[in-house]
């Protein structure tokens, strides 16, 4: 499915919207006293990065496109903070794992077995939104330096992972800039 602008919908929602928001708010954030961006995704998620097919148009799979979007957000955080001349913004990538929300199981689509498994997973492993907000606040409080950081729940994610590669971050930024 594509947006009215002809951009693949999952790419647009999971990555491009966050890119636009970050860069549109950058000047305003730099003027604030303690600027923080919290990008709720799934930082450090292993898997392929499709630099030759960022919108996954050749081999589209909804769940894989969402996972790919998380890897793109890792690169967004890297590039955003690496090229920030003011060096004041804390960019926190946060993985809540599973949030119990009304739309949480829609990712399964119409597949009966997958939908059943997702409902089970979110019911028992999912966290209430208030608990997730508490974790986000805790992670903001303990992140005292500008730059990118990442957490899976309350655990730091290793920023030396391949998903945080600076060269790939630059390639993604260049592609995105040309797209916009």
Rounded to two decimals, what is the model's pTM? 0.88
Would you say residue 109 has pLDDT above 60?
no
Specify if 64 maps to a domain.
yes
Specify if 122 maps to a domain.
yes
Q: CA-CA distance, 111 to 108, in Å (whole number)?
A: 6
Residue 43's domain comprises 9-179
Chain centroid, CA 146 distance in Å: 18
Specify if 3 maps to a domain.
no
Specify if 49 maps to a domain.
yes
Question: Residue 37: what are its φ and ψ, rounded to 5°?
Answer: -115, 130
Q: CA-CA distance, 168 to 148, in Å (whole number)?
A: 15
State the pLDDT confidence band at 116, using cuts at 50, 70 and 90: confident
Specify if 81 maps to a domain.
yes
State the pLDDT confidence band at 98, using cuts at 50, 70 and 90: confident
Q: Which residue has the higher pLDDT, 72 or 144?
A: 72
Radius of gyration of the chain from Cα atoms?
17
Specify if 4 maps to a domain.
no
Specify if 1 maps to a domain.
no
Average pLDDT of the residues in 39-64: 91
Q: State the DSSP string of the chain.
A: -B-TTS-BHHHIIIIIHHHHHHHHHHHHHHHSSS-EEEEES-TT--S---TT-TT--SS--HHHHHHHHHHHHHHHHHHHHHT-SS---EEEEEE-S-B--TTGGGGGTT-HHHHHHHHHHHHHH-B-HHHHHHHHHHHHHH--SSEEEEEETTEEP-TTSGGG-HHHHHHHHHHHHHH-
Helix axes 62-82, 166-179, angle to 10 degrees: 100
Specify if 2 maps to a domain.
no
Task: Give the total number of structural domains in the chain.
Answer: 1
């Amino acid at each position: 499915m594509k947006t009215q602008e002809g951009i693949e919908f999952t790419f647009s929602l999971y990555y491009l919207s966050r890119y636009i928001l970050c860069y549109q708010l950058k000047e305003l954030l730099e003027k604030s006293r303690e600027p923080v961006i919290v990008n709720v995704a799934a930082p450090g998620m292993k898997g392929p990065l499709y630099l030759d097919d960022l919108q996954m148009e050749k081999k589209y799979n909804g769940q894989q496109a969402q996972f790919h979007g998380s890897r793109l957000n890792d690169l967004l955080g890297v590039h955003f903070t690496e090229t920030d001349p003011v060096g004041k913004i804390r960019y926190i990538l946060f993985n809540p794992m599973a949030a119990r929300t009304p739309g949480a199981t829609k990712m399964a689509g119409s597949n009966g077995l997958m939908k059943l498994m997702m409902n089970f997973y979110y019911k028992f492993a999912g966290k209430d939104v208030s608990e997730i907000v508490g974790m986000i606040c805790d992670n903001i409080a303990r992140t005292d330096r500008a730059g990118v950081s990442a957490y899976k729940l309350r655990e730091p994610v290793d920023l030396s992972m391949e998903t945080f590669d600076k060269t790939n971050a630059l390639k993604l930024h260049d592609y995105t800039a040309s797209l916009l």
